[in-house]
Amino acid sequence: MNFRVLGRTGLEVSEIGFGGEWLERHPEEESVETMRYAHNQGINIIDCWMPDPKSRDILGKAMEGCREEWYVQGHIGSTYQNGQYVRDRRLEKVKPAFEDLLKRLKTDYIDLGMIHYIDSEEDWNRSMNGEFIQYVHELHEKGIIRHIGMSTHNPIMAKRAIETGFVEMILFSINPAFDMRPATDDLDSMFTGYEGTDYSGIDPDRAEFYRMAEEQNIGVTVMKGFFGGRLFDEKRSPFGVALTPVQCIHYALTRPGVSSILCGFDDKQQVDEAVSYEEADQEAKDYASVLANAPLHSYLGQCTYCGHCKPCPMDIDIAMVNKFYDLATAQKEIPDSVRAHYEDLGITASACIGCQSCESRCPFQVKIAERMQKTAELFGK
């Protein structure tokens, strides 16, 4: 298992994480065993947005004796009322729900205290003004939550979270389909009527969020990386082609700022399928060729950082150079952090000899040699 630093939190999290929402579908001991099995494969981060007692009890039992080996994303504002999940900002509902989380997880702290699920301006204002956010800060000051995070599906809200200065990481919905669609406060309607739509590149708000996360060292963990399994079925995929779990994982992990993708697991076999990413070759990870030939959209001319352009005779990491070029050109001046990351590559764009061999391998017909020249001029080396 490979590990990545989760932004400014400094936590080293596994690239493959555990999304816990499916645990309650199975007998308790079976789910406990699945979670322990995942941990034995190197997975060390889990998300618990679920307010129901069964799910929380499963996590508590699975982590017993090894709590310090797990990083838990525990949500504040996810409550259980009359046997149902309710997103709530009222302290009389929020506080007991969070205290119940601690009790059932058999812990006195949560690593990543998540401001739960803000997708709309109205909910942002309700959550960020008043007793709810005061409670979050109180938990943080007492060390009950070690870091403050937020979950959202809306890139505009994700950008707002970064701008607060106190949100250290974000749980965000990322997959190739979502990246094509504009921001919305209603995720369920995102792909209503998508049939026949020609998608042409990443939505600007999402691209801006990725840039901000990378530039300001905000950690990103990924939810909905498989689009509920729809990306595995060409008949249900908005692209009209099927991707594999490994391809979806690779897409998420190549987005700027991303540290871990949290996969939902029903059983040990699904854990194995996800963890197999760590030993997969580039052919197995290649989402780019599939998307390039999809009937319903095109990334034509746009680098997706897929790495399909390798190998380079000068050993340039072309995908990373392109990523830093995109991050740099989004600003009037190159941010110091972007310049430092670019220079840390060692072999930079200035080493390009213009052979264009990489361009013949690019599924999206990016003019790579031209971009290398522009990058060298931009960074001054």
Mean pLDDT, to the nearest integer, of 135-152? 97
Mean pLDDT, to the nearest integer, of 129-156? 96
Beta bridge partners of 264: 19
Which of 8-17, 231-240, 338-347 is most confident?
Answer: 8-17
State pTM to two decimals. 0.77
187 has a pLDDT exceeding 60: no
Give pLDDT, residue 240: 81
Give pLDDT, residue 181: 60
pLDDT band (50, 70, 90) for residue 199: very low
pLDDT band (50, 70, 90) for residue 350: very high
φ and ψ of 151, to 5 deg: -110, 140
Summarised one tens digit per residue, pLDDT across range 81-131 is: 988 888 899 999 999 999 999 999 999 999 999 999 998 899 999 999 999
Give pLDDT, residue 226: 86
Mean pLDDT, to the nearest integer, of 338-356? 89
Tokens of 372: 């290398």
266 with 22: CB under 8 angstroms?
yes
Give pLDDT, residue 197: 45
Give pLDDT, residue 370: 92
Backbone CA torsion sign across 188, 193, 199, 203: negative
Share of the chain above pLDDT 90, in %: 58
Q: Of 46 and 265, which is predicted with more confidence?
A: 46
378 has a pLDDT exceeding 50: yes
For residue 122, the one-letter residue type is: E
List alpha helices for the chain, DSSP H.
28-40, 53-63, 91-104, 121-128, 131-141, 155-164, 176-179, 204-215, 245-253, 268-275, 282-285, 288-292, 318-329, 336-344, 368-379
Q: Which helix (H) or strand (E) holds 146?
A: strand 145-152
- HSE-up of residue 295 (Cα within 13 Å, Cβ side): 10
Average pLDDT, the chain: 87
Q: Assign residue 113 a region (left: φ > 0; alpha: ψ between -120 and 50; beta: otherwise).
A: beta
